[in-house]
Structure 1
Amino acid sequence: MLGHLSTAVFPIFAIGALGFLLGKMRTFDVTAAFAINKFVMLVCMPALCIEFLALAPIKHFDFLLLFGYFLSEIILFLIGLFISKYIFRLSNTEAILIGLALALTNHVLFVLPIADEIFGASNTLTIVSIITMDGLLIFSLTLIAMDILSNSNRPFFVTIKAIITNPPLIGILVGLVISLNNLELPSGFLFFLEKMGGTATPALLFSLGIMLSYQDKIAPTKLIVSMTTIKLILHPILAWLLIAFLFGGSYPANHSTALMVAAAPSGVMAYMLAMNYNVTVDRISPIILYTSIGSLITVSLAATM
């Protein structure tokens, strides 16, 4: 187990640590972090969405399992939103993104490689289905909400234009159309999508490391501790309860990897959106950092269930 974890965990911490180190050395500054983030948002994410959805075997997904897991994400999202907004008095946009940080996990770069090592690529359909659902529902709906909030003082048509021209949303739509129509993409185009999409998460982790190096305080506050605890402890418990209930009272053994996803750290999508919508990352970045550290324990436990 430790060997499997180190295979997936070390690259994550190494990429972020490299960004942190080069940020401390002032080789990269905040402006560079914003530029990297913009590149990911406008170029890499659309490519990743198209590739992943185009290749996703949607007809083989267990939609009852996905419904149960989706419910757990919605509950986590609402808890994060409520606590951030009404207890810690944060802005609407930051509260939404903290809710997103609780709902979405780092499943592409963290959980999927671990599951591949432990169970084999043929046994990761559950994780692939959750990633697909998250892109189609959680991520896309959050993008729409952020476009609406960021254009709240502008004419309605400006908001609509922002939504329909949002690159990741376009990527999600294109990928879904390709998948539902069983279209076969040219190998050269798939290679392009694979390489462009594959840079998204590493680039975001590097950018996150830079931003953390410029933050005066990354020590765990009450908000950060509470969000980290909710994400790493409440989420897997809640997912287990909801899925077991939907399956007649017992958790389905063939979907054990879903608990690994629930026990994983907060994904970097919340950080990416915060940077692109000019929302402070002073709290979102440490949440991602501390859930990444804590998930070494929670993912290990979930993998044995």
Structure 2
Amino acid sequence: LAKNPLISAPVLALPFTIFGIQLPVLASRFLDLLGSAAAPAALFAIGMSFVERTVKSRQREIGVIVLIKMLVHPFLTWVMVTYYFELEPFWASSAILLSALPTAAMAFVIAQEKEAYVGEVSSTIVLSTVISVVTISALLVILPN
């Protein structure tokens, strides 16, 4: 578990944040450059996986997962922020928009690391990203602020 960067990176960064420790400029620039390459590299890997694998046997499952992620999740978030948390409109809208974002590329990284459902996850990411163009646009029109 400690080898997982999702766990180790925040733990290692915590002392820097708590004590206000600044990295040397050279190290900071290097890490910024390395970090800026991570998202495009992940998207490239997702695209390659999507091309290599056809997941015809699981299309229905992928469709249900994407439907839940893109429609049910934002709806449940709306219910929670409206009736349970009673957030101000700006914060409620922000939470709903965040819940309507497509499946994160990190899901692909984890699937690839665990060698499980890589094709399904890449299909889910691609499909939810395409659908998010419509759902997020609609939410931006509907939501206040």
**TM-score, reference length from structure 1:** 0.43
Matched with 2:77 is 239
How many residues end up aligned between the 2 structures?
A: 141
2:129 pairs with one of 283, 289, 292: 292
1:167–1:225 Cα change, 3 Å = closer
Correspondence 1:278 to 2:87: no
**Separation in 1, partners of 2:19, 2:83:** 34
Instruction: Give the drift of 1:278.
Output: 1.6
Instruction: Give the drift of 1:257.
Output: 2.4
1:218–1:286 Cα change, 3 Å = farther
Q: Deviations over 1:146-169 (max 9, x none)?
A: xxxxxxxxxxxxxxxxx2233442
1:238–1:173 Cα change, 3 Å = same
Instruction: Give the drift of 1:220.
Output: 7.2
Matched with 1:203 is 41
Query: Can you give the 5+ residue segments of structure 1 that lack an aligned partner in the other structure?
Result: 1-162
Correspondence 1:269 to 2:106: yes
- Whether the 8 Å CA contact 1:218–1:286 is kept in 2: the answer is no
Aligned residue for 2:48, secondary structure, equals helix
1:282–1:295 Cα change, 3 Å = same
Instruction: Give the drift of 1:218.
Output: 5.5
Matched with 1:254 is 90
Q: Deviations over 1:207-232 (max 9, x none)?
A: 11111111134697210111111000
- Whether the 8 Å CA contact 2:70–2:100 is kept in 1: the answer is yes
Correspondence 1:184 to 2:12: no
1:175–1:286 Cα change, 3 Å = same
> Relative contact order, CA 8 A, sep 6+: which one is greater?
1
Q: Aligned letter for 1:235?
A: H
1:277–1:301 Cα change, 3 Å = same
Q: Aligned letter for 2:90?
A: N
Q: Aligned letter for 2:81?
A: I
**Separation in 1, partners of 2:136, 2:99:** 8
Query: Can you give the 5+ residue segments of structure 2 that lack an aligned partner in the other structure?
Result: none
- Percent of matched pairs sharing the same residue: 25
Q: Aligned letter for 1:193?
A: L
Q: Aligned letter for 1:277?
A: K
**Separation in 1, partners of 2:114, 2:17:** 30
Q: Deviations over 1:28-77 (max 9, x none)?
A: xxxxxxxxxxxxxxxxxxxxxxxxxxxxxxxxxxxxxxxxxxxxxxxxxx
Alignment of 1:13-24 (within 5 A): none
Alignment of 1:32-71 (within 5 A): none
Matched with 1:173 is 11
Aligned residue for 1:221, secondary structure, equals helix
**Separation in 2, partners of 1:220, 1:297:** 24
Matched with 1:136 is none
Instruction: Give the drift of 1:280.
Output: 3.0
